[in-house]
Structure 1
Amino acid sequence: MPRYVIGDVQGCFEQLQQLLVLIDFKSDRDQLWFCGDLIARGPQSLQTLRFVRDLADNAITVLGNHDLNFLASLHGYGRVSAADQLQALQQAADLHQLAEWLQQQPLMHFNSQEQLLLVHAGLAPCWTLPTALSAAAEVSQSLTQNPALLFSQMYGNQPDLWQDAADEAARHRFTINACTRMRYCLADGRLELKEKGEVSANPDLIPWFEFWRHTPHPTIFFGHWAALQGRCDVEQIHALDTGCVWGNSLTAYCIESQRRYSVTGYIKQL
């Protein structure tokens, strides 16, 4: 069974379908792993969510920051802008069912047998893998048991270090930030959540994956960082967000063959 890891779709449903034609995807044979941010900013978030949900066991997805922000908005938190192009999803007759499905998706997916980790943003340098998985599972439990409380406490950049998370709300906020928003860290491993560029002019900012260059880690697949254009030279860490919604490309990586496939991204109509 071929498995393909796909970068941020962000509502670019047509490009996703083109990519699936390119890889000759068979829904009863192959499996798709999505790096999160299935929705927002592209024009067809509703179709994208329906499609991925209907793949059932032939799709694995983790939550991204745009996915969580949309879910938070349904509970009265967060803010969805017109640029997110989510009106059709917000007005869909099956909105409740789609949101319930999305809310059940994890922050991390880990294949322990093959040591494969799927996450939207990355693996925080102040975590061990067991700590990361435990923290992500705790957030998933809160998402299903008390989502309104989780979303009410989700926003903010502090704590920026796991060791400073003094209570449950702080642990959840750090975990969500690390799994869905992180790009750069400071030298001591603190999250820096403002800089988004590929190469920061600030020498104090270090891409999160550089901390794992000489440290044992699983094979990591991540999205979120479109400015990287799929480039990460740390062994066994694969960047998959190639900026489809910005008109660049949508990319899939085949785990079995270690090949990449790409189609041209979404071109906004003026």
Structure 2
Amino acid sequence: MARYAVGDLQGHLDPLLQLLAQVKFDPAQDELWLVGDLVNRGQQNADILRFLRQLSQCHVTLGNHDLHLLAVAHGVRPPRSKDTFTDILDAPDRVELLHWLQTRPLLHRCERTQKVMTHAGIPPCWSVDQAAALAHEMEAVLADPTLAARFFATMYGNQPDQWHQDLTEEDRWRTITNYFTRMRFITADSRLDFDHKETSDHPPAGWTPWYSARQPDGWQIIFGHWAALMGNTQRDDMVALDTGYGWGNWLTLRDIDTGEQWRCDAPAS
């Protein structure tokens, strides 16, 4: 059995299929981990969800684009002109696809091999166990129709921008979600920055990449979201897989256990 993790698909199924064919992926035995942002920018959003739903060993964590789709589907946010997921909203199997997506977690981990995956990472202020508990808390919110409706209606926003254990309900849900799906730069006390998306080489004054501030703890964190990194964290325990296929770069597939990687380049524009 092999285990593979792949970066942000963002509506592009074809490059994933090419990579899986290249490594001779066996859906009867092999695992596929996906860091989130399955949808938006490309035109194969519904096909991605249909393909992943039928895999028996598929682990997905929700990204900010996936949550945006769900908010639009719940009618609490209008679609943006640049959104490309109308193929899901108009699909005859819309209900099944959206239900499957909404029941994905914000964190997936393998205790045996000490690998953990989220969309944007895990802040230094949380242990992996604490992050897993908070992700599980959000799973319960998303599984409850009343709570989920409240969550999506109040999900957008940059405040609070720092974790406190005493946060409650909407503020708590929004903050947890922002760490898991929007985090890039942080302060020494894990305050979030939402304005900068550039590379980590020249961080804004007073800010640092979240993974640079996190102390090694025996876990390898697999994440996406930050395309400007182009897979470079300079740390073996921090694996960045978003290499910007949707921006004209490439999609990265990684063997979780050996570290070997493959890429599929975006077509020349």
TM bucket (normalised to shorter chain) is over 0.9
Per-residue deviation, 1:224? 0.4
2:89 maps to: 90
Q: Partner letter of residue 58 of structure 1?
A: Q
Question: C-alpha distance in 2, partners of 1:217/1:206?
Answer: 21
Question: C-alpha distance in 1, partners of 2:180/2:268?
Answer: 28
1:81-122 superposed Cα distances (whole Å, 9 cap, x missing partner): 232211211110001100000000000001122211010001
Cα gap change, 1:262 to 1:178, in 2 (>3 Å): same
Per-residue deviation, 1:244? 0.8
- 8 Å CA contact 1:10–1:45 kept in 2: the answer is yes
1:15 maps to: 15
1:110 maps to: 109
- 8 Å CA contact 1:244–1:266 kept in 2: the answer is no
Q: Partner letter of residue 208 of structure 2?
A: I
Question: C-alpha distance in 1, partners of 2:88/2:245?
Answer: 20
Please state whether the residue corresponding to 1:191 is helix, strand or coil: coil
- 8 Å CA contact 2:216–2:237 kept in 1: the answer is no
Per-residue deviation, 1:15? 1.1
Please state whether the residue corresponding to 2:37 is helix, strand or coil: coil
Question: C-alpha distance in 1, partners of 2:104/2:66?
Answer: 10
- 8 Å CA contact 1:69–1:79 kept in 2: the answer is no
1:25-76 superposed Cα distances (whole Å, 9 cap, x missing partner): 1211211100001111111111111101111x22110000000010011112
Q: Partner letter of residue 211 of structure 1?
A: A
Please state whether the residue corresponding to 2:16 is helix, strand or coil: helix
Question: C-alpha distance in 1, partners of 2:210/2:167?
Answer: 23
Per-residue deviation, 1:232? 1.0
Q: Partner letter of residue 175 of structure 1?
A: I
- 8 Å CA contact 1:63–1:107 kept in 2: the answer is yes
| Deviating more after overlay: 185-194 vs 59-68 | 185-194
Q: Partner letter of residue 206 of structure 1?
A: T
2:137 maps to: 138
1:24 aligns with 2:48: no
Question: C-alpha distance in 2, partners of 1:92/1:22?
Answer: 30
1:236 maps to: 237
Cα gap change, 1:62 to 1:201, in 2 (>3 Å): closer
* Structure 1 gaps, min length 5: none
1:141-172 superposed Cα distances (whole Å, 9 cap, x missing partner): 00011310111121111111112752122211
Identity %: 38
1:209 aligns with 2:211: yes
2:124 maps to: 125
Question: C-alpha distance in 1, partners of 2:268/2:11?
Answer: 13
- 8 Å CA contact 2:158–2:194 kept in 1: the answer is yes
After TM superposition, the score normalised by the length of structure 2 is 0.94
Q: Partner letter of residue 222 of structure 1?
A: F
1:185 maps to: 186
Please state whether the residue corresponding to 2:117 is helix, strand or coil: strand
Per-residue deviation, 1:205? 1.6
Please state whether the residue corresponding to 1:180 is helix, strand or coil: helix
Question: C-alpha distance in 2, partners of 1:3/1:201?
Answer: 33
1:153 maps to: 154
Q: Partner letter of residue 250 of structure 1?
A: L
Q: Partner letter of residue 171 of structure 1?
A: R
Please state whether the residue corresponding to 2:72 is helix, strand or coil: helix
Cα gap change, 1:184 to 1:119, in 2 (>3 Å): same
| Deviating more after overlay: 164-173 vs 152-161 | 164-173
Question: C-alpha distance in 2, partners of 1:135/1:227?
Answer: 27
Q: Partner letter of residue 152 of structure 1?
A: A
- 8 Å CA contact 2:119–2:223 kept in 1: the answer is yes
Per-residue deviation, 1:267? 5.1
- 8 Å CA contact 1:165–1:174 kept in 2: the answer is no
| Deviating more after overlay: 200-209 vs 11-20 | 200-209
Please state whether the residue corresponding to 1:220 is helix, strand or coil: strand
* Structure 2 gaps, min length 5: none
1:221 maps to: 222
After TM superposition, the score normalised by the length of structure 1 is 0.94
Please state whether the residue corresponding to 1:162 is helix, strand or coil: coil
Q: Partner letter of residue 150 of structure 1?
A: F
RMSD in angstroms over aligned alpha carbons?
Answer: 1.5
Q: Partner letter of residue 92 of structure 2?
A: A
Question: C-alpha distance in 2, partners of 1:178/1:141?
Answer: 18
- 8 Å CA contact 1:15–1:266 kept in 2: the answer is no
Cα gap change, 1:266 to 1:73, in 2 (>3 Å): farther
Query: How many pairs align?
Result: 266
